[in-house]
Amino acid sequence: MREIVDRVGRITLENEQLFQRLIDGERRFRGLAKAVWKVQEEERRRLARDLHDGIGQTLVALRNQLERLARRAGENGDLAEGLRDSAELTRLALNDTRELSRLLRPPVLDDLGLSASLEWLARSIGERTGLEITLDCDLEDERLDPDIETLIFRVVQEALTNVVKHARSPTARVTLERSATDLRVRVADAGIGFDPSTAFSAQADGCGLRGIRDRLELFGGNMELHTGPREGCTLRLRVPYGQDRPARINLGA
């Protein structure tokens, strides 16, 4: 009996050691994934700056030069018209470049914080797509941890992109609340909905929900998805402060 007890004790100790190694490995993996994510965001910031300050400024100079040439070529109607058309194309290219720069990494996110950047995002998507977005955010001008601000901005951006691409909804509502321990985000639409059991299947590559889930997991976040055919979709996200726990995914109709 004593031998059996000793053996059980050794097995228990080995299991505890293996479990601790598993926890340590998960923490190292999460730390590495966060580092990669930060590098990606820094690369987005660099590319956005290069687009705005490099290509953007070049297009501004080109547009101005074409407009000056068009004015000088006033007596040559065909040439002047061609130059004006070229200047207009340059202006459109400049607008697209600036929009791409802001989408890669909006300066307002770094300069003014999450609340202002979400307001910009809602306005920008609404102007481009016609989606009517209501934003309820109780942060006002309060600044949060930069990584948390970036995380929330990206998941809301992805969620609203999903609404535009898949929901066929004329409206969407984004709600953000902060408690003493976590941030809670709700993105809801009145669209066609879908079968929640297919949300993370191989056929759902274009849906973006797995990307949202993966980002949340890096910060121990929880995600709840409530949807069904012709029932719209509500996505609830919860990101804790000062805690590092695995994410829970709850799929419900």
pLDDT band (50, 70, 90) for residue 247: very low
CATH of domain 107-252: 3.30.565.10
Calculate mean pLDDT across residues 235-244. 77
Between 179 and 201, where is the model more confident?
A: 179
On the question of pLDDT at 197 being above 80, the answer is no
The 10s digit of each residue's pLDDT in 29-75 is 666 667 777 777 777 778 878 887 888 888 889 889 888 888 888 76
Indicate yes or no: pTM above 0.85.
no
End-to-end CA distance of the chain: 53
Q: Within a 13 Å sphere around the CA of 54, how many CA atoms are in the beta-carbon half? A: 7
* pLDDT band, residue 25 (cuts 50/70/90): low
CB atoms within 10 A of CB 225: 21
The total number of residues written for the chain in this structure? 253
HEC-encoded secondary structure of the chain = CHHHHHHHHHHHHHHHHHHHHHHHHHHHHHHHHHHHHHHHHHHHHHHHHHHHHHHHHHHHHHHHHHHHHHHHCCCCHHHHHHHHHHHHHHHHHHHHHHHHHHHHCCHHHHHCCHHHHHHHHHHHHHHHHCCEEEEEECCCCCCCCHHHHHHHHHHHHHHHHHHHHHHCCCEEEEEEEECCCEEEEEEEECCCCCCHHHCCCHHHCCCCHHHHHHHHHHCCCEEEEEECCCCCEEEEEEEECCCCCCCCEEEEC
Average pLDDT in the chain: 81
Percent of the chain's residues with pLDDT above 90? 23
Query: Per-domain residue ranges for the chain?
Result: 2-104, 107-252
Q: Percent of the chain having pLDDT more than 70?
A: 86
Token output for 113: 């914080």
What is the arithmetic mean of pLDDT over 93-107?
84
The interaxial angle of helices 56-72 and 77-104, nearest 10 deg, is 170
Top-confidence residue, 97 or 134: 134
The confidence band for 169, taking pLDDT boundaries of 50, 70 and 90, is: very high
11 against 194, higher pLDDT? 194
**What pairing do the DSSP bridges indicate for beta strands 171-178 and 182-189?**
antiparallel
- The residue-averaged pLDDT of 175-184 equals 88
* Pairwise CA distance, residues 120 & 132, whole Å: 13
